[in-house]
């Protein structure tokens, strides 16, 4: 199974864009195969000359294989999807012209192939490129028909050729127009997909980040704690701390709610500056915060909280210049295998004691 996957990766690559291009290539190959079968039947019935048809089949197979290599290594040689689509379409158009010339009385049926080639372009080429290809196809087929009618009017009656050309022109131009519309539709879909993906990113942020403080919110913190519970604990242990701003109601009442918000914002900045990369500080609710310190002893955790407290004392808060801002914290170690809810409960009790003992301090459970 693994070998098969590796083989598929070798043949088709891993990039979804490349795989899509190779799908189109495979679909074109099916078309070539169908044409080759038709030519062989034509030869059998004596409609086509094998001396001309066989080289055309060989040429078609060789160039189709060459296109596989060009698509497969397009990223390395710097070929864009639309460049590849246009060159593949040009090659197919040349084949169709030859097919028309060698198909004798069946040549009218081969004109369908010209339209199919242009229809394929709507997936990769730009509308202008598709229009140019349609005009090129028209000019090429027109020249082929004119040449055949001029050199062998008995087999290619000019009036019949002219009428076939008229049908082809109508079919090609309407396919080019449809292809343009299809391209617009695809661009609109792409744009909407980008917008949806941006909206999803915003929703993800809103669902996990607290808008005021930019800290992770309570919902996200529950996920972090659950992941931490599943992790193999280190020998140093894990600590958890509940922090609560002191006299925050007074800040709000005396300095205004906006100043209270500034305190919460400045607090989160100052607190974050004291944390290690693996520590997580969350807004647990209102003016209460939960701090997770993985792989930290109680002493380590106390050191972090003390640095935080110093930082908060020193932080300037616009609109609250004349007040000392502080917090109280309850600190607990999580026992190995213990649910975080229990450790948080102990930290909460310790926080209660910190408040009772006069606030602006850290109390260990
Ligand atoms: N500005 C602001 N205030 C908030 C926010 N969330 C909660 N609060 C306020 O925080 C205050 C908390 O007050 P209390 O629970 O009495 O606590 P405290 O005044 O800090 O007193 P102690 O905790 O005992 O020191 C309440 O007035 C809430 O309205 C917020 O997002 N912004």
Do 293 and 308 meet the contact criterion of CB atoms below 8 Å apart? no
Closest ligand 1 atom to 261 CA: 1
Label each residue of 44-79 as H, E or C.
HCCCCCHHHHHHHHHHHHHHHHHHHHHHHCHHHHCC
Label each residue of 130-172 as H, E or C.
HHHHHHHHHHHHHHHHHHHHHHCCCCCCHHHHHHHHHHHHHHH
pLDDT in tens, the chain (365 residues): 788 888 888 888 888 888 888 888 898 899 889 989 999 999 999 988 999 999 999 989 999 999 999 998 888 888 888 888 888 889 999 999 999 999 988 898 899 989 888 888 777 778 888 889 999 999 999 999 999 999 999 999 999 999 999 999 999 989 888 888 888 898 899 999 999 999 999 999 889 999 999 999 999 999 999 999 888 766 678 999 999 999 999 999 999 999 999 999 999 999 999 998 899 999 999 999 999 999 999 999 999 999 999 999 999 998 888 889 999 999 999 988 889 999 999 999 999 999 999 999 999 98
For CA atoms 244, 249, 250, 254, the dihedral sign is positive
With residue 113 as reference, give the H or E element that holds it.
Answer: helix 107-121
CATH topology of domain 218-364: Alpha-Beta Plaits (3.30.70)
**How many whole angstroms separate alpha carbon 329 and alpha carbon 344?**
12
Rg (CA), the chain: 37
Select from 218, 247, 249 the residue to mutate for testing ligand 1; criterion: most ligand atoms less than 8 Å from CB. Answer: 249
Residue with CA closest to ligand 1 atom 8: 286
Closest ligand 1 atom to 260 CA: 1
Do 79 and 87 meet the contact criterion of CB atoms below 8 Å apart? no
Do 312 and 255 meet the contact criterion of CB atoms below 8 Å apart? no
Distance 333 CA to ligand 1 centre (A): 27
Tokens 């196809």, residue located: 137
Do 231 and 295 meet the contact criterion of CB atoms below 8 Å apart? no
Residues touching ligand 1 (Cβ under 6 Å) are 212, 244-250, 252, 257, 260-261, 264, 286-287, 355, 359
Q: Please confirm, yes or no, whether 287 is among the known catalytic residues.
A: yes
Do 141 and 165 meet the contact criterion of CB atoms below 8 Å apart? yes
Do 328 and 231 meet the contact criterion of CB atoms below 8 Å apart? no
Q: CATH 3.30.70.270 residue ranges in the chain?
A: 218-364
Is 0.90 exceeded by the ipTM? Answer: yes
Catalytic residue among 9, 278, 287, 338: 287
């Amino acid at each position: 199974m693994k070998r098969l996957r590796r083989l598929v990766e070798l043949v088709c690559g891993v990039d979804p864009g490349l795989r899509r291009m190779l799908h189109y290539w495979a679909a074109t190959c099916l078309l070539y195969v169908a044409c080759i079968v038709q030519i062989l039947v034509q030869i059998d019935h004596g409609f086509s000359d094998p001396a001309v048809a066989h080289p055309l089949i060989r040429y078609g197979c060789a160039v189709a294989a060459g296109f596989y290599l060009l698509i497969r290594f397009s990223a390395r040689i710097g070929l864009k999807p639309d460049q590849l689509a246009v060159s593949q379409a040009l090659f197919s158009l040349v084949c169709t012209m030859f097919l028309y010339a060698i198909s004798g009385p069946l040549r009218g049926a081969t004109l369908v192939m010209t339209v199919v080639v242009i229809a394929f372009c709507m997936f990769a080429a730009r509308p202008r490129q598709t229009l140019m290809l349609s005009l090129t196809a028209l000019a090429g087929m027109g020249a082929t028909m004119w040449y055949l009618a001029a050199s062998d009017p008995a087999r290619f009656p000019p009036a019949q050729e002219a009428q076939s050309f008229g049908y082809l022109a109508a079919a090609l131009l309407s396919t080019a127009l449809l292809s343009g519309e299809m391209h617009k539709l695809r661009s609109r879909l792409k744009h909407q997909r980008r917008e949806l993906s941006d909206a999803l990113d915003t929703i993800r942020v809103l669902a996990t980040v607290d808008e005021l403080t930019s800290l992770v919110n309570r919902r996200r913190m529950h996920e972090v704690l659950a992941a931490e519970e599943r992790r193999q604990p280190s020998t140093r242990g894990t600590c958890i701390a509940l922090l609560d701003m002191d006299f925050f109601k007074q800040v709000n009442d005396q300095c205004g709610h906006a100043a209270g918000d500034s305190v919460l914002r400045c607090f989160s900045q100052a607190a974050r500056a004291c944390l290690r990369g693996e520590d997580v500080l969350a807004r647990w609710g209102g003016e209460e915060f939960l701090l997770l310190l993985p792989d930290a002893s109680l002493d380590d955790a106390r050191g972090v909280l003390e640095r935080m407290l110093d930082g908060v004392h020193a932080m300037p808060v616009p609109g609250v210049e004349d007040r000392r801002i502080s917090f109280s914290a309850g600190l607990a170690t999580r026992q190995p295998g213990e649910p975080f809810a229990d450790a948080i409960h102990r930290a909460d009790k310790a926080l209660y004691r910190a408040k009772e003992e006069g606030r602006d301090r850290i109390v260990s459970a």
